Chains A and B, each alone.
Chain A
Amino acid sequence: MTEIQSLTLTEEQQALRDIARTFLADRLGPDVVRELMAGEVGFDPAHWAEVAGMGWQAMVVPEEHGGAGYGWTELAVLFEEAGRAIAPLPLLSTAMGTAVLLSSGTDAQRAEHLPAIAAGERRVAVAVDVPGADAQPAPTLRDGRLDGRVRHVVEGAAADLVVVATPDAAVLVDPAADGVEVTAMEVLDLTRPQAELSFDAVVVDDDAHLAGSPAEVVDRARTVGATLVANEQVGTAAAVHEMAVEYARTRTQFGRAIGSFQAIKHLLADDLVALEAARSVAWHAARALAADDADEIAVATPMAASLCNEVAAKLAADTIQVHGGIGFTWEHDAHLYFKRASSSRLLFGTPKAWRARLADTLGL
């Protein structure tokens, strides 16, 4: 455990943010996002290779495994930018998978997979269902055979390696292995595909068993996922808010900019306040993760997951409201952001569930 960093960006983090923003604007503008979301896997491997060249996948991988050896705060900066661009890149699954390998992988598994992940040559997903009423029973592992299915695997179709948690063990599975079927699911947010993975007597060798317990693996994946999504949602919320403010400045009604009307002006001012609170909480959660401070993570992650998701969903809805009729059209980007914000909000449990978890932690 190290000391939690301050809430300002270092010069390097600012440089990282600026370059990420420039890259995403240059390469993954709205037209590209729309083109990619209509495709099978939802991203372009050329973009993946390019971000690998910039070291995005290597960021939290230790130097001994070919990574940059930096922390989750830098990755959080990147996720905020990815959220701003609703970037169609399987960054979330890969970050979660990397986190699981780091915390629960064996030395041999780390040595085998982390360098390839860092180089952008392997993508890893974590097969955990979205928590909730229709969650399916976890797959089972008997006599070295994996059976069952997992739905809503984030970016599952893009992965070359999948972490699967069964009640008895967490294991690594090659999605190309015999008996594994990967089916793209129809989801609300087309910019972040999900897949159903089914396993029919898939052979799992002993060396594919992770060292950590299934509960640890699932918890780590969800904690890291929820923290990064919270930062991503801040970027998404910032993007829609800028969109709404710009429109309110230029769109006129009754001879004046609509931003001059109190109903719009106050709404956008309140939204900015909410956005700033969300950003502080999201950064704090990332810093708690970087400091590996378990007590603080137990408080900061639920706070971020509950607040940032709600703020992003609200600001995305308000943006459509501010835009009026045009905001409801397919051609306008507002709905892409709305769907991203609404869908991400539920990925790791509802804000209500996170608040309940926080209340438990605090003994309320």
Chain B
Amino acid sequence: MKVIVPVKRVPDTAGDKVIDADTKTMDRDAGETVLCPVNEFAIEEAVKLKEATGAEVTVLLIGPDGAQSTIRKALSYGLDGAIQVTDDAISGSDALGTARVIAAALADVEFDVVIFGNQSTDARTSLVPAAVAELLDLPSLTYARFMEIDGDAITVHREHEEGWDVVESTLPAVVSVVEAINEPRYPNFKGIMAAKSKPLDVKSLADLGVDAAAVGAGDAAATMYAFEPRPPKAAGTIVTDDGSGSAADDLADWMEEQKFI
């Protein structure tokens, strides 16, 4: 079985995010970057398939040279190889543009299942997995909180607000997983040491036969016009008890004003 896990380099989830005022896109060099934490759940599912069936797992990443450390982090879980698509023209792509690039990269390789995280921790659109499935004309099994593969049949439990649906399909298929699906392990030492020696296939848009005009900021269906940092939290009202007894009245007035009473 061949499994593809698309991964993303994102700003450190715990760190401050900086948006470039000129391009209105994330400044990815402003802080620490990490492998998107949601990808770890997809990787864990892939590693389980590897353990159970000897599946060959390939990581797919779109990003510049600097993102190779993210690829190695993903490979350190014991995965087999990586494809990196890198091209300046991709910069600024929206979800659809990203999906076009991923779909083009996948069109070139053999696979049985693609396992996405359901969303990245930076953009959080959740659009890419379904868009990739649509572009490749493959079954889309998103929001999986459980997945099982038996021969060329796949079953997932698709999570929604009221519970989950049991969705069955045939392979090849595109899956996106939610964090409830498993508890990712930590990479082991051998995996860390082996990551650098795993094959890495670097491709440009031209290699994939993608028209540079169809991706990137210029062609994005979504346009960012303006952004504003979240306003600082306003100070609360302090009612001081000066001993005269008026504090209770002040407090009552304030509560009435706020419609608490």
Which residues of A come within 8 Å of B, CB atoms? 11-12, 15-16, 19, 22-23, 50, 53-56, 58-59, 68, 70, 74
Stretch at the interface among B94-102, B112-120, B185-193: B185-193
Q: Is the CB of A12 within 8 A of B196?
A: yes
Contact of B189 among A11, A50, A70 (CB under 8 A): A70
Chain A contacts of B195 at CB under 8 A? 12, 15
Q: Is the CB of B76 within 8 A of A53?
A: no
> How far does the Cβ of A167 sit from chain B's closest Cβ, in whole Å?
38
For the complex, what is the distance from the CA of A19 to the CA of B187, rounded to whole Å?
7
Chain B contacts of A56 at CB under 8 A? 189
Residues of B contacting A: mostly:
helix
> How far does the Cβ of A57 sit from chain B's closest Cβ, in whole Å?
10
Which residues of B come within 8 Å of A, CB atoms? 69, 72-73, 76, 185-190, 192-193, 195-196
> How far does the Cβ of B237 sit from chain A's closest Cβ, in whole Å?
23
Chain B contacts of A68 at CB under 8 A? 189-190, 193
Complex A-B: 15 CB contacts under 8 Å: A11-B72, A11-B196, A15-B187, A15-B192, A16-B189, A16-B192, A19-B187, A19-B192, A22-B186, A50-B186, A54-B189, A55-B188, A68-B190, A70-B193, A74-B189
Residues of A contacting B: mostly:
helix
Looking across the interface, which residue of chain B has its beta carbon closest to that of A16? Answer: B192
For the complex, what is the distance from the CA of A53 to the CA of B195, rounded to whole Å?
17
Chain B contacts of A12 at CB under 8 A? 192-193, 195-196
Q: Is the CB of A23 within 8 A of B192?
A: no
Looking across the interface, which residue of chain A has its beta carbon closest to that of B34? Answer: A18
Given the interface contacts A11-B69, A11-B72, does A19 sit within 8 Å of B196 by beta carbon? no
Given the interface contacts A68-B193, A70-B193, does A15 sit within 8 Å of B186 by beta carbon? no
Looking across the interface, which residue of chain B has its beta carbon closest to that of A20? Answer: B186
> How far does the Cβ of B194 sit from chain A's closest Cβ, in whole Å?
9
Chain B contacts of A16 at CB under 8 A? 189, 192
Chain B contacts of A70 at CB under 8 A? 189, 193
For the complex, what is the distance from the CA of A55 to the CA of B187, rounded to whole Å?
9
Chain B contacts of A15 at CB under 8 A? 72-73, 76, 187, 192, 195
